């Protein structure tokens, strides 16, 4: 909920009234121009940072339908995708009190990955889009921003939002994945449709054994592998959130502050 300052001293009340006037002040030359320049140019940088981070940590788990498995996919993608949204969330909240950092990053990433997959993997490499579609993190970004807006706390956002992020990234993308998990007949075996895609659309340098399908002993959890994975994913996402906070605080904002102070 929106906080309401209580029992303010007269001086403090006056200061806040001045801040209110400052908030509504008009700066003819840079107001809208600056906003437009910032929001549009930042798309490329933010999308690039988010995509590179995702590729570094999650790599193939976001590339192919047959890698979106119940065990590793919820763990690695949640961690990989929360880092830059967290950094942007810090920057945009502290600078402007906008609960938009995560949503903005996810929207930028959405545009970049769909354009990249279409031109690089579908047009240039001729993989069908239904095999190389990227996951969407936008709904998870919306909820992460909503949690920050409600709690006004990065600590609470990391604890609640980390878990929510892991669940939402998985749940939102599991819905379009479901058709590809139907059983099919292929090469004298019962396989999922996504397995068939992975075999049929040849990846000479991505052999099947690189997938981590059902390694480990998570089967002991009554076969509900994905829920155990989500628990791990949520924990890791909370950790990833603080990696992002570190980037936001010390790699992005701090050097700029130092630079401005030296001017």
In angstroms, the CA 3 to CA 152 distance is 9
If one asks whether residue 3 binds other proteins (CB under 8 A), the answer comes out as: yes
Binding other proteins by CB under 8 A: which of 48, 116, 186, 231?
Answer: 186
Q: Applying CB under 8 A, which part among 46-54, 76-84, 143-151, 227-235 lies near other proteins?
A: 143-151
Minimum CB separation of residue 149 from other proteins in Å reads 6
Which tokens belong to 52?
A: 């590179």
Interactions with other proteins, residue window 60-119 (CB under 8 A): 66, 69-70, 93-100, 103-104, 106-107, 110, 114
Cα dist. 59→64, 80, 117, 147, 210 in Å? 10, 9, 13, 28, 12
In angstroms, the CA 50 to CA 101 distance is 12
If one asks whether residue 220 binds other proteins (CB under 8 A), the answer comes out as: no
Minimum CB separation of residue 71 from other proteins in Å reads 8
Binding other proteins by CB under 8 A: which of 9, 207, 259, 263?
Answer: 207
In angstroms, the CA 72 to CA 232 distance is 10
Nearer to other proteins, 174 or 242 (CB): 174
If one asks whether residue 179 binds other proteins (CB under 8 A), the answer comes out as: yes
Q: Is residue 204 a contact partner of residue 137, using CB atoms and an 8 Å limit?
A: no
Binding other proteins by CB under 8 A: which of 7, 10, 11, 185?
Answer: 185
33-62 footprint of other proteins as x/- string (CB under 8 A): -xx--xx-----------------------
Q: Which residues contact 117 (CB under 8 A, 6 or more apart)?
A: 129, 132, 133, 134
Scanning the structure block, which residue is given the tokens 């749940």? 171
Q: Is residue 59 a contact partner of residue 217, using CB atoms and an 8 Å limit?
A: no
Q: How many residues bind other proteins (CB under 8 A)?
A: 100
């Amino acid at each position: 909920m929106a906080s309401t300052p209580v029992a303010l001293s007269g001086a403090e009340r006056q200061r806040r009234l001045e801040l209110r006037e400052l908030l509504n002040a008009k700066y003819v030359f840079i107001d809208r121009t600056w906003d437009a320049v910032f929001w549009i140019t930042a798309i490329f940088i933010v999308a690039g940072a988010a995509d590179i981070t995702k590729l570094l940590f999650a790599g193939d788990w976001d590339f192919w339908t047959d890698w979106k498995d119940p065990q590793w996919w919820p763990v690695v993608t949640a961690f990989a995708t929360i880092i830059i949204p967290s950094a942007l969330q810090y920057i945009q909240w502290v600078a402007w009190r906008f609960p938009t950092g995560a949503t903005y990053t996810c929207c930028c990433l959405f545009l970049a990955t769909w354009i990249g997959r279409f031109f690089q993997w579908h047009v240039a490499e001729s993989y069908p889009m239904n095999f190389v579609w990227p996951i969407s993190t936008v709904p998870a970004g919306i909820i992460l921003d909503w949690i920050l807006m409600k709690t006004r706390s990065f600590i609470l956002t990391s604890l609640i939002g980390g878990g929510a992020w892991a669940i939402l990234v998985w749940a939102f993308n599991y819905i379009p994945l479901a058709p590809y998990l139907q059983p099919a007949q292929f090469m004298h075996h019962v396989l999922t449709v996504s397995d068939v895609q992975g075999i049929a659309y040849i990846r000479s340098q991505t052999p099947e054994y690189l997938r981590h399908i059902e390694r480990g002993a998570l089967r002991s959890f009554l076969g509900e592998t994905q829920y155990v994975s989500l628990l791990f994913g949520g924990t890791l996402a909370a950790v990833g959130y603080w990696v992002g906070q570190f980037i936001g605080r010390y790699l992005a904002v701090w050097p700029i502050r130092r630079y401005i102070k030296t001017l």
